[in-house]
Amino acid sequence: MTSSVPFRLAFFNIWRSGSGPGGLARVADLILASAADVIGLSEVMKPADFRVLTALLQLHLPHSAYCPTSYLGIISRYELGSVAGHTPQDKSTPGFSATVAMPEGRARVKVIVCHLSAFPYGPYMLRDGHKVQDVHREEASSTIWSPCHVSSL
């Protein structure tokens, strides 16, 4: 008999290192409220901001990895392995990734975090009268590559 254990994955653009109301403490509260097991983060602008956020979440989400060149991070309840940043030559897996070691010997899960270019922005293109197929074509070709150098904090 196979047992099913929920796995919750979330992605959160923390908007310029949590510069909105409440700062990184508010970001940490929202992450905890999500009850996610693994969270991909974008727009973590400084390694110091990532350290603050991981310190706030350490009790519940003790594992983390950060890519300072693309401002991406992964925070996890479970151990992370095979952390890698991808380069422009590796088009098969853009962004930043880690393998998550699931509990009780269950299969591993690969989590990939990426942040696409803000310009041109599909919803604004639609608002401005562009056709859906034009937006799809533009977004498919629009990838900003920031080579990722994995950082241990």
Q: What is the DSSP letter of 40?
A: E
CA proximity to 11, closest of 42, 40, 53:
40
Domains of the chain: 9-141 (3.60.10.10)
Whole-number Å distance between alpha carbons of 84 and 66? 10
Q: What is the DSSP letter of 140?
A: H
pTM value is: 0.76
CA distances from residue 91 to 72, 86, 131, 144 in whole angstroms, order as listed: 17, 8, 26, 11
- The pLDDT of 18-43, averaged and rounded, is 94
Q: Are 31 and 56 in contact (CB under 8 A)?
A: no
Q: Are 60 and 38 in contact (CB under 8 A)?
A: no
Top mean-pLDDT range of 74-78, 84-88, 93-97 = 74-78
Q: What is the pLDDT of residues 105-149, one digit of tens each?
A: 777 888 888 776 667 778 888 899 999 998 878 776 755 544 444
Amino acid occupying residue 17: S
